[in-house]
Structure 1
Amino acid sequence: MSSRLRSIAIVELLAKHPHGLSARAVSEQLRIPFAATERLLQELAQSDYVRHGADRQTYRLRLKLAALGLAYLGASGVTDLVQPILDDLAKRTGELVRLAVIEGDRLTWVAKAQGSRSGLMYDPDVSAEVHLPSTANGQAWLACLSRRDAEALLDRHDIGGKPADEAPAFNREQLFQQLEGCRQRGYAFVSEIYQTGTSALATAIRKPDTGSPIGTVSIAGPTLRMTEARVSEMASWLAMTAAELAAASASSPLFAAR
């Protein structure tokens, strides 16, 4: 692995550990020689991407990286075009609404809106990349693809297993049966799969001119609130939101290359 790729891997790892990691922990988790890890961390520190923690033994990301991300999302139209649409759906449903964008063979979270302000609230600490077989967003995208293309996508990601210790392992045939149900309903629905006690529904956002998927939007919350009647009601709102986001995509560079 080149130094450039190693540096990116370090940044991605530290993004998951806001309290910081020692150089030894970084080295062990990424399987990079300790001396090389220390050198790369020092270079990242010189570029103002990482800094020492208060104990001087750990390394943490600086806000520079977050600022760059926020600047990019603002310039791409998420703040002005997309966020108000997500906020409206979150307010209507009282649940967590999230947007993910397709880029190459990956689906990445880019924005969210929390509708619940009290009581039971679902707001997971997730990685940037969506786990395709176990999440409503992932299934909503897979359902847009042919069986062959979906199989190839799953193979490239090597994600036939489970995303977390408490989630069940996935059987591919069961997954493709779920995807067929998603096509018939017009949205994906998962319950107690990605995280115990939670459920979610999601649908694809499609380019207005070609119909090809460019992203997904979802509603997630505690399972006890996701009754059949409630899910059916929210599904219609979800479809309208997806249509709004599809229309907004024409004016957002975020979707320009999709």
Structure 2
Amino acid sequence: MAKAVRNDPTFEDSRDFVQSLARGLSVLRAFDAEHTRLGLADIASRTKMSRAAARRLVMTLEHLGYVRNAGREYVLSPSVLELGFGYLGSLNLTDLAQPLLEDLARAVNQSSSMAVLEGQSIVYVLRVPGRRIMSVTLGVGARLPAFSASMGRVLLSGLDEPALDQWLTECRPTKHTSYTVTDTQRLRRIVDEVRHQGYAYVEQELELGLCSLAVPVHNADGRIATAINVSMPYHPDASREAIRTILPQLKLTASAIETCMPSHRLPAVSA
């Protein structure tokens, strides 16, 4: 059987077309940002059906919990969101975050990435390249040591105290540059500070000339699920500029990712 396409008018004349389903969905689509409350006459007019047919459909949708009565008018109920969660749940986190990170990278004119914590490393799950400022090429699946990466420190700040203690016990920091922090007690203080301020800034610890600013992405329970960052070249005023101009953009992007994801798609990060 040929696959039905949404814009194929001939399908509506076939035996496979369920008119009552199409009409019920048209009632839901009658509501939008400009028409949040509709009476039966309005619904009938916007869906091009009789008032009697509109009434039956509205009563059915009300029984199912998708619309509710508001005096002489009707409004959509929160249950209608369930219709979209199936689609959102089928998407990977990176599918939803990709356009948001692309917008971020474009806005700040730098590269942007997303990573998760796996053991002693962070693993890149999404990367939008910008200006080439690292000597190594990073892509999806690339790993960096968590202790010296801004996203790593953000992800570590999401661990509870016993898990962080265990992580630091197993950590074997090595110096990448003369600026790399390798003392585990100092690393703990840094992670505590990241937890308190809500972001991590790392300057030339992974590679000379490279700075990075990262923020967490939380799940519905408020726990850190992943981290996103922006990488930038070092200059004497890099930290102040990053906090002033890039941090607000990063936070907005993280918030947008949190908002568009159903809670079951954002498991909390683990070591």
Tell me, yes or no, if the aligned pair for 2:224 and 2:268 is still in contact at 8 Å. no
Deviation at 1:90, TM superposition (A): 0.4
Give the aligned partner of residue 144 of structure 1. Answer: 158
Q: Give the distance between the partners of 2:243 and 2:214, measured in 1 at CA.
A: 11
How many residues get paired?
177
Question: Cα distance 1:210–1:188, how it changes in 2: closer, same or farther (>3 A)?
Answer: same
Question: 1:233 aligned to 230, 241, 245, which one?
Answer: 245
Q: Gapped runs of 5+ residues in structure 2?
A: 1-89
Question: Cα distance 1:165–1:104, how it changes in 2: closer, same or farther (>3 A)?
Answer: closer
CA displacement, residues 140-189 of structure 1 (integer Å, 9 cap, x when unaligned): 0112223322121234xx33312747773610111112122212321011
TM-score, normalization by structure 2: 0.56
Give the aligned partner of residue 206 of structure 1. Answer: 218
Q: Give the distance between the partners of 1:257 and 1:206, measured in 2 at CA.
A: 8
Tell me, yes or no, if the aligned pair for 2:177 and 2:204 is still in contact at 8 Å. no
Question: Cα distance 1:92–1:100, how it changes in 2: closer, same or farther (>3 A)?
Answer: same
Question: Cα distance 1:242–1:75, how it changes in 2: closer, same or farther (>3 A)?
Answer: closer
Give the aligned partner of residue 110 of structure 2. Answer: 95
Tell me, yes or no, if the aligned pair for 1:95 and 1:121 is still in contact at 8 Å. no
| Larger gyration radius, structure 1 or structure 2 | 2
Matched, 1:179 2:194: no
Question: Cα distance 1:77–1:215, how it changes in 2: closer, same or farther (>3 A)?
Answer: closer
Structure 1 runs (4+) deviating above 3 angstroms are: 102-107, 120-124, 163-169, 255-258
Question: Cα distance 1:185–1:199, how it changes in 2: closer, same or farther (>3 A)?
Answer: same
Q: Give the distance between the partners of 1:243 and 1:110, measured in 2 at CA.
A: 18
Q: Give the distance between the partners of 2:262 and 2:122, measured in 1 at CA.
A: 19
Within 5 A, what are the aligned runs for 1:75-94? 76=92, 78-79=94-95, 81-94=96-109
Q: Give the distance between the partners of 2:214 and 2:196, measured in 1 at CA.
A: 13
Tell me, yes or no, if the aligned pair for 1:92 and 1:115 is still in contact at 8 Å. no
Deviation at 1:101, TM superposition (A): 2.8
Question: SS of 1:133's equivalent?
Answer: helix
Give the aligned partner of residue 180 of structure 2. Answer: 168
Question: Cα distance 1:163–1:78, how it changes in 2: closer, same or farther (>3 A)?
Answer: farther
TM-score, normalization by structure 1: 0.59
Percent identity over paired residues: 20
Question: Cα distance 1:91–1:185, how it changes in 2: closer, same or farther (>3 A)?
Answer: same
Matched, 1:129 2:140: no
Question: Cα distance 1:167–1:226, how it changes in 2: closer, same or farther (>3 A)?
Answer: closer
Deviation at 1:244, TM superposition (A): 1.3
Question: SS of 2:228's equivalent?
Answer: strand
Q: RMSD between aligned alpha carbons?
A: 3.0
Amino acid in structure 2 at the alignment position of 1:129: R
Give the aligned partner of residue 220 of structure 1. Answer: 231
Q: Gapped runs of 5+ residues in structure 1?
A: 1-73
